[in-house]
Structure formats: C-alpha cells, structure tokens
Amino acid sequence: MPKVAYHLDLPEAATSCVVFASPHSGRDYPWSFLRGTVLDEQSIRSSEDAFVDRLFDCAPQFGAPLLRAGAPRAFIDLNRSVDELDPALIEGVRRGGHNPRVSSGLGVVPRVVANGRAIYRGKLPLAEAERRISRYWHPYHQQLRGLLESAREQHGEAILIDCHSMPHEAVEGVARSSGRRPEIVIGDRFGASAAPEIVARVEAAFAGAGLAVVRNTPFAGAYVTQAYGRPSRGQHAIQVEIDRSIYMDEARIRPNARFQAFRRLLRGVVAEIAAIGHRDAEQPLAAE
C-alpha cells in the first residue's frame, strides 16, 4: 500500500486564502500493487499528473498551503466521488445510472489508465475498494476541507486551485481566436464553482505570463470543483490543466529541457494567484 494518503506543505504564515492542491501527482507505486496489474511500471504512470506538485511547490513561499496526493491516480482517484464505483471492476457493485466517467473505467478506483488500457486482469473485491477509500480518499479530503475551512475562518473567503496536467493531444481540436493551441485550461464548471471576478484574475495570471488560456473546454472540472465550489458561501474552486508537453517528455514521463524554465515562469503565476487572497491585495475579493 502507498505509505501516506497525502503530503502537506504549509507556509510559515497563512497570509493568503488560496489553497493549492494536486490530487493526481502521487507517485508511490508499491510492489504489492504493481504485481497485481497487467501494466509495466512505465505504462501505469500514463494517467498520473507527473511533476505537477513540483511545478506548484513554491506556493507556501507566498502564504498558501499545498496539498499533494500520496497515492497514485491509478490506485485511487481523489478527483472522483466515493460512490463512483465501477461495477465492471469491483465485485458486488450494482449498476446504477449512467455515469460517463465510471463507464469509461475512470471511477474512484480506476479500471484503466490513459488510452483505455486495463490495469487489472480481473475484478477487485469490494473490501479492497473500501480499504483504499478509507485509507487514502477520506484522509485527503478531510485535510482539504480543513484547509478551506481555516482559510474561510481567517480570511472570510477560500479559493481552491486544483492543479492538473493534460496530454498534449487533449487540446488538438480546441480553437482560439489567436490560432494558438491552448496551453492552460481553466475549469469553473461553466461559472458554477467560482465567482467570475476570481476566475478572471486566475486566467489573467496565466495569460500575463504569455500562456494561451481557455476556459472549460475540454475540461470544466470534475468532483473536486463540483464538491468544493460554493461561491455563494465564499468558497471558490477552480481547476487548472497544463499541457504536459510544455515541461515533460510525455512518452518517457521525464522532465524535459524546458522544465526548470517553465517552473520559474509558474512561480510568478503562483505568486499572483496567491496575492488574490491577501487581505492587503489592491482588488477586493468577490462579494459573498
């Protein structure tokens, strides 16, 4: 089993109401898990948001915490609801209403990795799925809820930036007026998970760094933005997807020659986003 459910990097002083989280960058693949799969150690990492936690690891320097998954996405998907159990994978689970994520094998315990490649030879016992949920999903989300509650108590508002990466091919068909292929996709569930003023400032932080940004296409946000985005209560959730080809070799799952330069570029973006949540920021937060 993976050693821990999450890693938490805290600032010396919580001066921002922004919380950064990376639910898919976990890379602890224990041998007990790998020997039960039909994939090799490289293939099983294909749906991992590799190195995203490193891209955002400067967040605590700007007064914002960073929550990082300990378990890998292929083992437990922290961006899914606990009831998104796949009957095609888990014994004893009844088929419910149509859920496209579950049907495609991407439930809370995934059946496949990228490109629909099966992880297991057969089914898993329900007890195994429940154990993963109990040991990894619940602790991660309990910590995430606690961070957001603390931010709201201290600052009157909380902003969650849920950090992800996407395959380069995911945005091939997404058009922009400039003709550039999108490099960043910001998801706010089409306005449901965050106030428009805050989304605009997050978008401006990436665009100001010279990155091509679009909203909600092809990724509008999944469970995390849906569950935690409550703008009417002063709690906002925004998903950020970054084109992996910018900073890594997707085939080898290794940082590429541009990794450090891009990481430095994102440092300025992270600082600007964290400043949205500073009490002394020039612009006020969205009204509740």
Q: What is the pLDDT of residues 234-265, one digit of tens each?
A: 999 999 999 999 999 999 999 999 999 999 99
Question: Cα dihedral angle (99, 103, 106, 112), rounded to 10 degrees?
Answer: 180
Question: Sign of the CA dihedral 221, 222, 224, 230?
Answer: positive
Mean pLDDT, residues 150-166 taken together:
97
Residue 281 pLDDT: 41
Residue 283 pLDDT: 42
Alpha-helical (H) ranges within the chain are 31-34, 52-55, 100-103, 126-132, 138-155, 196-208, 223-228, 259-276
Residue 284 pLDDT: 42
What are the structure tokens assigned to 53, written together? Answer: 């936690």
Architecture of domain 6-26+49-76+140-276: 3-Layer(aba) Sandwich (3.40)
> Which amino acid, 158?
A
For every residue of 91-122, DSSP letters joined together read: TTPPP-S--HHHHTT-SSS-SB-GGG-B-BSS
For residue 125, give Cα distances in angstroms to 10, 89, 91, 134, 283. Answer: 37, 9, 5, 15, 52
CB-count burial class (<10 Å; 0-12, 13-18, 19+) for 143? middle
Predicted confidence band at 177 (pLDDT cuts at 50, 70, 90)?
low
Residue 282 pLDDT: 42
pLDDT surpassing 70 at residue 280: no
For residue range 93-113, list pLDDT tens digits in order. Answer: 988 777 899 999 999 999 999
Q: What is the pTM of this model?
A: 0.93
Q: Which percentage of the chain shows pLDDT scores above 70?
A: 95
What are the structure tokens assigned to 65, written together? Answer: 């915490």
